[in-house]
Chains A and B, each alone.
Chain A
Amino acid sequence: MRGAAGTKIMTPFDYIVWLISLPAPIYIVARLAVRRELFRYFALAFYCLATTASNIGNFAVLKIYGIASAPYIYAYFYSESILAVLLFLVVLSMFRQLLEDMGATVYVRIAGILLLAGTAWVSFTVVQGHRDHMTGRFVVELGRDLNFVGVVLVYLLWTAIMKLRESRARMIQLALALGVYFSVYVLCYGLRQAHPEWAVLRMMPALVSTFLFYSWAYTFTKIPEEARLATARLAALATR
């Protein structure tokens, strides 16, 4: 039900996007299970399952309390924040895959623990500071900040992929789709605060979330694990 929060009524668009967004994460998990790749992409599969649970849960809250209700708004934005943290784990698992040949996975684990501890501490501090006025604006800012950390993390991952000349096509496409997702989310959050009347900004999170899952589904379906790409050709302004 992403993207619906903040509107007064459920539009046909919201229903359509909700229905379209449901099968892709389930398909990804099923495909990984059938191909015995579930363990390799455990964080990603877990995120897919959590998103499905969140979508169904939020829909139930919406049906019980209504779309403009406080319970729905909080369920929507807080589940989104939790999902953003779960996506950090997906990025970290990609870092682990990227650096495992260098024997640097222990550093990734340490960095991951520090990142999660730091995120938890900052979130806790912010929540403590706002506990008397847990407003809609606050939850939106929290979501924006978490997603911005995601942008930075994926940017670091992408930089590492380029520097290390990582050529695994799957990892490259999974990471880039994630980068597009986080970037659009932060842009939507930011622009929504400045222009709450722009309806398109309410639709974009739902659309980009759907994009992420369909992009991942495409990658797992079409790109075999052993496929390789020349990273030098992927730089945004590469001349080759």
Chain B
Amino acid sequence: MIPVLMLLFSAMALVQFFLSYCRALLAAYGNVEFSATTREVIGLDANQIHGGEFDRLLGLVRIAPNAGDSKWELGIVTAYYRFLSMIDMSVAQLVPVAQSWSERESTRCAYFAAAALDRRIAAITQ
């Protein structure tokens, strides 16, 4: 019984730590303003970015000259986005609150990808 409780507590703690860790990485990029070049490249204004754009933006980040400064964050945020996609396909189908939460978080991931692209574009245009 005790080992099962330990497992359950650890699983719950893992979800909480992982989500908060990802949100801590994303928090630094929430207010980044994009350059005109970035807006032109992505074809969107900052307020038009939504979660569904993440993969496309990530693709653009990958073909942009690598500034070598955001691999770790990109890896973690990509893992977070995949996790959100799983939530979106499972729990969110039944729980509307989970759906709006996962959409909001996915949008933050996409915004992060656009910010990473913006940084790389800034590195070559400066």
Contacts and interface: CB of A to CB of B under 8 A. Distances in A.
Contacts of B21: 173, 176-177, 179-180, 215
B96 to A, nearest CB: 14
B15 A234 contact: no
Interface string A186-201: 1100110100000000
Contact of B27 (A154, A182, A234): A234
B3 A187 contact: no
| Residue among B15, B17, B30 with max Cβ neighbours from chain A (10 Å) | B17
A229 B27 CA distance: 7
B13 interface: yes
A213 to B, nearest CB: 12
How large, as a class, is the contact surface on chain A? 20 to 34
A183 B13 contact: yes
A233 B17 contact: no
B24 A148 contact: no
A152 B6 CA distance: 10
Contacts, number: 83
A169 interface: yes
B3 A151 contact: no
B24 A236 contact: no
A34 to B, nearest CB: 19
Interface string B11-53: 1011111111101110110100000000000000000000000
Interface of A: 144, 148, 151-152, 154-155, 158, 169, 172-173, 176-177, 179-180, 182-184, 186-187, 190-191, 193, 214-215, 218, 229-230, 233-239
12 contacts: A151-B10, A155-B13, A158-B20, A176-B20, A179-B21, A180-B21, A186-B6, A191-B7, A233-B23, A237-B101, A238-B23, A239-B101
